[in-house]
Amino acid sequence: QAADSKREQFRRYLEKSGVLDTLTKVLVALYEEPEKPNSALDFLKHHLGASAPENPEIEALRLEVAEMKERYEAVLEENKKLKTKVKGY
């Protein structure tokens, strides 16, 4: 009887803290995946990690990547224009 009581307390704790809801959502997402991933554990880790607070360093790196992509596109465009000019000579 004491074990049942402890289990029930633990279940209420998980429910109150949002753990059950979060786990249920991730498991439902896995269930609804049309093509199941090779590693269900990696799927869970990825989706649970997505709800963790963002590390400021990660956000800074994302911004840097976005800037680099823009610069890359600009360089490609400039390269294209220069190739066209060279062909004209």
Measured between alpha carbons, how far is 32 from 46 in angstroms, rounded to an integer? 16
Report how many domains make up the chain. 2
Measured between alpha carbons, how far is 89 from 85 in angstroms, rounded to an integer? 7
What value does the CA radius of gyration of the chain take, rounded to a whole number of Å? Answer: 25
Residues 25 and 43 both lie in one domain: yes
Residues 17 and 39 both lie in one domain: yes
* CB neighbour burial string for 53-83, b if at least 16 within 10 angstroms, e if fewer: eeeeeeeeeeeeeeeeeeeeeeeeeeeeeee
Q: Write the pLDDT tens digit of every residue in 10-60.
A: 999 999 999 999 999 999 999 999 999 999 998 998 888 765 556 788 888
Residues 46 and 66 both lie in one domain: no
Largest CA distance in the chain: 92
Coil, strand or helix at 1: coil
Q: What is the pTM of this model?
A: 0.49
